[in-house]
Amino acid sequence: MPVRRSTPDAFETQKKKKRLSLAEAAAKIQNYCAYQERSHKEVKAKLFEYGLFGNQVDELLSQLITDGFLNEQRFAKAYAGGKFRMKKWGRLKIKNELEFLGLTKNCIAQGLKEIDEHAYHSALTTLLQKKQVGLQAETIFKQRDKLARYAIGKGYEPDLVWQVLKEILPD
Q: What are the pLDDT digits (tens) for 111-158?
A: 999 999 999 999 999 999 999 988 887 788 999 999 999 999 999 999
In this prediction the pTM is 0.84
Q: Is the pLDDT of residue 13 over 50?
A: no
Q: Is the pLDDT of residue 34 over 90?
A: yes
Residues 45 and 85 in one domain: no
Residues 125 and 141 in one domain: yes
Q: Is the pLDDT of residue 9 over 80?
A: no
Residues 164 and 121 in one domain: yes
In a domain, 51, yes or no: yes
Residues 57 and 77 in one domain: no
HEC string of the chain equals: CCCCCCCCCHHHHCCCCCCCCHHHHHHHHHHHHHHCCCCHHHHHHHHHHCCCCHHHHHHHHHHHHHCCCCCHHHHHHHHHHHHHHHHCCCHHHHHHHHHHCCCCHHHHHHHHCCCCHHHHHHHHHHHHHHHHHCCCCCCHHHHHHHHHHHHHHCCCCHHHHHHHHHHHCCC
Share of the chain above pLDDT 90, in %: 78
In a domain, 13, yes or no: no
Q: How many structural domains is the chain composed of?
A: 3
Instruction: Give the pLDDT score at 1.
Output: 54
Instruction: Give the pLDDT score at 136.
Output: 82
In a domain, 146, yes or no: yes
Residues 123 and 162 in one domain: yes
- Domain interval for residue 141: 117-168
In a domain, 15, yes or no: no
Share of the chain above pLDDT 70, in %: 90
